[in-house]
Homo-oligomer: A and B are copies of this chain.
Amino acid sequence: MNYPSKILERAVEEMANLPGIGKRTALRLVLHMLNRPKSQTAALSEALSKLVEDVKFCKKCHTISDLDICEICSNPLRDQTLVCVVEDVRDVMAIENTGQFKGTYHVLGGKISPMEGVGPTQLNVSSLVQRAKNDEIKEIIFALSSTMEGDTTVFYLFRQLKEYNIEFSTIARGLGVGDELEYADEATLVRSIQYRVPYSDQKF
């Protein structure tokens, strides 16, 4: 592609470096930026530069935060003895959006995946072991994806942590709320029946 301007070309190339954005989409986005008020693109540019400069990761749970210790970890109303282990920040946001979880988190930053060359050392595992050792953690909930990598990661973490006096649980697998039984896949249905819940224990 011949660009009529080097400045345009550089902007397109930097945008096209983002995942899922090709050269054509990048060009469309950049031309859109030129057609809207300058201030909007200046605001985008500043927000991104602030992002990489000022954003922090909580020293305790590794979630993205504006402070050294995130609002959840420093909140006395949250149960600090209950830790939910998740893959990334999006999972924290998803659970926080439910407004139902009153414990804290630990963000691993990924899953163990030999295929993608991600081993335990690339993840925030040692800090979790440290928290188990030092803190008064009573229960750890593994809230990872129900995939080969997710299960492998849970198994690895469990082996690292089992020596401590902690209860372990995983989030429930089963039919989604509103799902119709006849369309459920076999594996899910089997889990749903195996881990059935006494009717008197139902939480509405």
Q: Which partner residue on chain B sits nearest A30 by CB separation?
A: B51
The reply on A34 being an interface residue by CB < 8 A is yes
So how many copies of this chain end up in the complex?
2
Q: Is the CB of B11 within 8 A of A48?
A: yes
Known: A33-B51, A44-B14, A48-B44. A66 touches B97 (CB 8 A): no
Residue among A8, A51, A55 with the most chain B CB within 10 A?
A51
Q: Is the CB of A41 within 8 A of B48?
A: yes
Q: Which partner residue on chain B sits nearest A107 by CB separation?
A: B4
Q: Which partner residue on chain B sits nearest A50 by CB separation?
A: B7
Q: Is the CB of A4 within 8 A of B51?
A: no
The reply on A65 being an interface residue by CB < 8 A is yes
Determine which of B25, B44, B71 lies in contact with A15 in the assembled complex, contact meaning CB atoms within 8 Å: B44
Q: Which of A86-94, A145-153, A174-182, A189-197 contacts B (4 or more CB under 8 A)?
A: A86-94
Q: Which of A16-24, A127-135, A156-164 contacts B (4 or more CB under 8 A)?
A: A16-24
Q: Is the CB of A3 within 8 A of B51?
A: no
Q: Is the CB of B55 within 8 A of A51?
A: no
The reply on A203 being an interface residue by CB < 8 A is no
The reply on A78 being an interface residue by CB < 8 A is no
Determine which of B17, B66, B71, B96 lies in contact with A44 in the assembled complex, contact meaning CB atoms within 8 Å: B17
Determine which of B6, B31, B52, B56 lies in contact with A38 in the assembled complex, contact meaning CB atoms within 8 Å: B52
Q: Is the CB of B34 within 8 A of A52?
A: yes
